Amino acid sequence: MQTHKNMKRSRLAWWQRPVRMMRRDYLADFSGLVETDLAAMARETKEKWHVNCEWIMATPGCSPGMGQFTTFNTPNFEKIPGLGDFDLLRSYLPHARRHGIKLVPYINLHWYSYDFAAKHPGWEQLLEDGTPYGRKRPLYGNGTTFCINSPWRDWAFALIREVMATGVDGCFLDGPGIFPKCCYCAHCRKLFGRITRQKKMPSFGDWSDPLWKQFLEFRVQSLVNFLRGAQAAVHAVNPKGIVFKNGGGYDSGCMVGSRDIARLAPHQNFTSAEQFYHTSEKWDSPYQTLNMARFLSAGKNPAVVFTHHTLSTWHYIPLSPAEMTSAIAQTVAGGANPWFAIFMESMPSRAAEAFEAVNLNAFLEQNEMHFTATEPAAEIAVLLSRHTAFYYRSRLKALAKMADSGKEQNLVMERAEQANRAGLAEQRKASTSILDNEYMGCLDALTFSHLPARVLWDEHITLKQLMSVRILILPGTACLSREQIRVLAQYVKNGGSLIATFESGFYDELGQPAERPEWLKLLGIERVEGAFEPSRKEEYWTVVDDALPAFPKNILLPRPLNGLKVRAIRGRQELVRYNNTLEHFYVNLQGLSPYPAAIYSSFGRGRVVYVAAPLFESFNRFHLADFRILIRALIDLVTGKAGTQIECKAPGSLAVELRRRPGELQVHLINVTSDMKRPMENIIRLANIRIAVRASGVKRVHALRAGKELPYQRVGNKVVFTMPEVDVYEVVIIECTQG
């Protein structure tokens, strides 16, 4: 078995093995490269950056939109001025090859100058009023963008063929994108009309227009069609050439840009997205990269998370070593490949810290075997539904009301401006605000509780895929198809545990309200009466049962911002109840309402907890310990006597991720304990971390980064060991006999 699997691994293509990517960015000034020692550059790529796949610019991505120029020789496209006969791709390729570096040029397919656009009338993406997008909203301050349904697509495919003809291993497409409120050009109008047999197009964001959702689907499909064409262009020159484009994340922003990574996946080799670090005036989750890596790597393709090696918008200052190291560690722990872009004008002044920041790549290079074809091993899964991100618009109008901030200072209460938020677009906005916080809050609440989780896409809700899932969480997963509902009911019947929050499953996959009495019955809901108005004032929940070990009965908990008024089916176990609303400050408690906040049901071995609120949303917004502890307690409850897969005594700033490959279970530890702010400057080492993890046939436990054997004991069905010290990242390998 072992031999067979090893043979299988050795047949993996280069891009299916661990890939460490980088891009050197020179913006518009390539003149220095003509004189550069390219042999030394390739050596630096290998020996100082520890990278095995390099992007090199085939067309620049810089102001004022220079996507029309090439850095290599081709009779069909214009060369960037200043390079003369120098062909960057063909000159660098032999040096890259010598060091085993795969060359994947960057092709800018989204940013062009107004001059170039003027030479090609009809190519620009248009807003509804006919204005080109890039004239109203100049890209990065200057330049415009083209439509994937216009004849520009053939220009782009021809460019891709020319890039591949240089002999490189593949290409990365930066864009194209469909920009917000686009595209209403003549080509799109014609195509859309042919599909819908309607003359008009819907106004952007008009949720009352029956054509609106068809327009969303049309945009997604247009992007899929483009990528299919791009892949064909690559394969026409080199059938083994790879291609991928800048993808999308899991929040509702993917709807605006029509980026559906599952639909794009079959037409590209990697599933990738940006998770850049941006300075923010708000609290920033330290685990954003881990969450993105888990999401992207959930599909069949290898995944890549893009991290700019820059301090937010200061492109000529490298990202701090603590932030960059953590980003690489989180990327790999989440099952994805790391990537960074370094802006070369930062190097003369800050090379030392730039190299230090990617030092973790050396560890990944030396231990490649352990990062090859790993799989998630977590028993908890979280469905991050793109159907919901695309189409969720709650029908409950009360949710669109603005909540007061709840702040009082100098005898004055801060009150919310009650904008007129009655429109459908405002309802959508309120719904996505809940959802985006709910998704991030769910993954983070688990991480802060040391509960490893894997992400599932809509497509993964099948009985086969759910076989290895012990607890499935639906964080406000409102839009589910009838088939998904059927599978979930069967999963519970088969003994699986389900935790669903808020309006999970109340709508079909296109966001239409769905009447589903059987689904409500599974959740323990007799009927839904409506929503509470969002409130950040002091409202409460009360624990009304003894089943939650973390909380005694009758203890008060803060009520989340949003909530539903539902009635429980008689006989179901109510764990937590809404208190009657107070509506004002400094008034006495008014007793319990009839509305349950958490309902527990069991069906044979299968268990269901329904939470009548987007609990994760409020965890993400307010970070209250009670929310996290309640989430943990609900998970412990559905886990039962068997206990959670892993126990770890550490602060929430240590993330634990479980992955496996044949013969080993891996415990990835990412320490973000730092100076209580981002950007992080210093990671504070953690000492003597005791970990107990369920594993059988254990032969050896060792810490890969520290290079240490770890003594271990068996306690019940778990192996227990102590990590003497955890710096920013460690991987504990638990070697097991083959099952």
Helix locations, 301-359, DSSP H: 321-333, 347-357
CB of 209 to Zn ion, least distance (A): 18
Measured distance CA(538)–CA(581) in Å, rounded: 9
Half-sphere exposure of 29 (CA within 13 A, CB side): 4
Contacts of 256 (CB under 8 A, 6+ apart): 180
DSSP strand pairing (540-543 vs 106-108): unpaired
189/370 with CB nearer Zn ion: 189
148/520 with CB nearer Zn ion: 148
User: Which two structure tokens, joined as six digits, stand for 81?
Assistant: 């001025």
CB of 265 to Zn ion, least distance (A): 24
183/479 with CB nearer Zn ion: 183
183/704 with CB nearer Zn ion: 183
CB of 205 to Zn ion, least distance (A): 17
User: Which two structure tokens, joined as six digits, stand for 494?
Assistant: 């088969």
149/579 with CB nearer Zn ion: 149
CB of 321 to Zn ion, least distance (A): 44
Of the candidates 155, 165, 177, 174, the one whose C-alpha atom is nearest the C-alpha of residue 234 is 165
Amino acid identity of residue 60, one-letter, is: P
176/376 with CB nearer Zn ion: 176
Amino acid identity of residue 472, one-letter, is: L
Chain center to CA of 630: 25
Q: Residue 271 pairs with which residues in a beta bridge?
A: 303
37/128 with CB nearer Zn ion: 128
Cβ atoms of 645 and 717 within 8 Å: the answer is no
CB of 263 to Zn ion, least distance (A): 19
DSSP strand pairing (453-456 vs 592-603): unpaired
Residues that bind Zn ion (CB under 5 A): 147, 149, 183, 185, 188
Q: Is 213 exposed, middle or buried (0-12, 13-18, 19+ CB in 10 A)?
A: middle
CB of 175 to Zn ion, least distance (A): 14
- Radius of gyration in angstroms for the set of CA atoms belonging to the chain, rounded to a whole number: 27
User: Which two structure tokens, joined as six digits, stand for 703?
Assistant: 């810490």
181/632 with CB nearer Zn ion: 181
Q: Residue 408 pairs with which residues in a beta bridge?
A: 413
Cβ atoms of 431 and 399 within 8 Å: the answer is yes
Cβ atoms of 87 and 73 within 8 Å: the answer is yes
CB of 223 to Zn ion, least distance (A): 12
185/430 with CB nearer Zn ion: 185
Tell me whether the omega of the peptide bond preceding residue 452 falls within 30 degrees of 0, making it cis: no
CB of 556 to Zn ion, least distance (A): 55
CB of 185 to Zn ion, least distance (A): 3
Residue positions counted in the chain: 739
Amino acid identity of residue 306, one-letter, is: F
CB of 1 to Zn ion, least distance (A): 53
CB of 232 to Zn ion, least distance (A): 21
Amino acid identity of residue 83, one-letter, is: L
147/732 with CB nearer Zn ion: 147
Cβ atoms of 50 and 23 within 8 Å: the answer is no
205/679 with CB nearer Zn ion: 205
